[in-house]
Structure 1
Amino acid sequence: MKKRAVALTFASLLGAAPGDELMVRADDWVPATIEGQPVRLRVDSAGLSRLVLSLAAVERLDIKPAPLFGKASLQLAGRKASAGFNRPLDFAIDGRATKGRGFWLKAADLGDAEARIGPWGVPQARVVFALPGPSDGAQSYRFPLGGALNSVAVALVSFNGQPVPLSFEAGGDRALPLVSAALGAMLAQAYDGHVSGASWDEPILVGITRPVRLLTLAKPLEFGPFRFTRLAVRVPDRVDAAGRGPAIREAGEDDPEEVTVSAKTKGKPIFTMLVPGRALRGCARLGFDKVTKMIELNCRPQGN
């Protein structure tokens, strides 16, 4: 029989009853077991929804690939970014038992965690992240919830008529919003932006990095409680679809209305954005409701 690989893609799960809620404090461990053994698990608001294990945890728990469909791959923005394995596992999160496939990937870096999982993958119907911001004076901002078990949980928003899957990174120390090359070019044109400085590598997902540059907007991008003038934009390349997009004006070049920029991009570009942990520090709560399919963010209006 020909073996097949199970693919995780950046592209509903309603297995729990309404009102069943998992409370998570950003960057804290969540009580969890895999195959009856305790593990150090984190729930990632912007991470893969599937249960992802570290290679060390796989070895400690003596987990073997499934005899059928045991191979796996991570597709990042339409391109294979890492290969690995998977198998069905019994696991429990905060006392709630469930079954699902666990994945381990050769290129994945989970930091000090033995396992990570995203909102769509937990058995509870609602996942709420307690954030460090004050609740007094906070306003509620609601977004339609998108994504799926094989991808990530995203808010479905639109910038200048362009649909954009938007992820929220509760916790961590990332300072700048991260945008794909195509979205960065669109924002640069709409908000009089330019890129400057050398590129650097920015974590994208489970330790996989991609090169980015600083994008500065003369007019702020404002939505929900946020106000951004500085973003990290993917360097245009052919590594994956998130790197496809036209060139952005360099700092010191003429006004874009006075020059013609021509860029050939092979394949369809994608428009994505990640709101970083530092931008959420002024927020009190971030909730993912898989029953109503809504994301609710409680924040004071802020800027950068």
Structure 2
Amino acid sequence: MRAIAVVAAASLACSVHAEAAPKAQLPEELVLTGDNLIDVTINGLPLRLEVRPEAADAPMLNPDVAARLQLKPGMFGFITVVGPERVSGDSAVHKVDYGVGPKNQRIFWADRASSTIADGTISPASLPYKRVRFQLTAAAASERTQQLPLDNFGFLGRGGIGTTFALEGEEVRFQFSLQRPETLASAPTGNWLARKREGRFTGQPRQTLIYFGIQRPTRAMTLSKPIPVGQTMLDTVDVRYSDYGDASGIAEQEATEGGDSDEIVVVAKKEKKVDLRIVAGRRFLQGCSSLLYDLQQRNLTLSCKAE
């Protein structure tokens, strides 16, 4: 069974690579503003997709759209776990046209809606352009640019697109989300940040929208040792303290002179390899006019006000 799975995965990887190979010269640049919506046609049906940097590479359609298209599941499905809730989905190869001619491409659909403002979501990595620019606001007179290497995450690009950097002897995957103000981290990442960057909970528990319309409890964490992301420092994150690991059985910081007894330190029980991933929201991008994904040169450029 294991050998069959490996062969199937290798065959699929080759198939996906072949599907994604460009057949003609790609247009130079797509500029997205506002809700970052694009027009697309799937199996002849005109649709609108919401472009998200943290979305899966291929289109992720809402269930009502999949029903209208009468999509039939292929060999490969998926299950996404969001806290205690499971989201099931399917995939298959269909004809997709982004306005530059149809091509065969794998698309996904789930039993929950991926977008509330469009027919589904898609990553900039799937679009037939050399570069995709998210224009957040008008450019300032004096700006600086920060360039980071560009990576695709997860099998079939299911983890989205972002950058990877080395920190404290580990690799950290870093992405952007333009649909939320908060910067999010999982419980294992929160534990790691507490140990390595002296993070402490400084906010009260609250419900935060994650994806597929599901909310999960988070708490704000302040880092005594901020994380450099290019030339910008990340000093606060919201930790999903009970998902994908457990940061709920945490130790309270003992009250000391000048200290705050309500602050809590996340303490890991033991050192172990964890998947470190941080998804930065719009608050982190305050002062930045654009986010540019260069899909050919494989870099990510932030244009921000000089401080």
TM-score strictly above 0.5 = yes
Instruction: Report the identity percentage.
Output: 25
2:239 match: 233
1:63 maps onto 2:70 in alignment: yes
Larger RCO (alpha carbons 8 Å, 6+ apart): 1
TM-score by length of 2: 0.77
Q: Which amino acid aligns with 1:63?
A: Q
Partner Cα distance (2:92, 2:138) in 1 = 39
Aligned residue-pair number: 281
Counterparts of 1:17-166 in structure 2, within 5 Å, are: 17=25, 20-59=28-67, 61-66=68-73, 68-69=74-75, 72-75=77-80, 81-148=86-153, 149-151=156-158, 152-166=160-174
CA apart distance, 1:246: 9.5
Q: Which residue of 2 aligns with 1:192?
A: 198
Distance 2:236 2:252 in 1: 14
8 Å CA contact retained: 2:147, 2:299: yes
Listed as ranges, the gaps of 5+ residues in structure 1 are 7-11
Structure 2, unaligned stretches of length 5 or more?
Answer: 10-16, 260-264
2:77–2:90: 8 Å Cα contact kept in structure 1? yes
Aligned CA distance change for structure 1 residues 231 and 116 (closer, same or farther; 3 Å): same
Displacement after TM superposition at 1:155 (Å): 0.7
Q: Quote the Cα distance in structure 2 between the aligned partners of 1:219 and 1:268.
A: 21
- Superimposed CA distance per residue, residues 204-231 of structure 1 (whole angstroms, 9 cap, x where no aligned partner): 3443444321112345434324333321
Mapping of residues 245-284 of structure 1, within 5 Å: 250=252, 253=255, 261=267, 263=269, 268-284=273-289
Residue 212 in structure 1 maps to residue 218 in structure 2: yes
Distance (Å, rounded) in 2 between the aligned partners of 1:117 and 1:253 = 47
CA displacement, residues 90-112 of structure 1 (integer Å, 9 cap, x when unaligned): 12224453321221111344112
Q: Distance in 2 between matches of 1:249 and 1:293?
A: 42
Displacement of 1:114 in angstroms is 0.5
Change (3 A) 1:96 1:284: farther
Do the aligned residues in 2 keep the contact of 1:107 with 1:208 (CA within 8 Å)?
Answer: no
Q: TM-score, normalised by structure 1?
A: 0.77
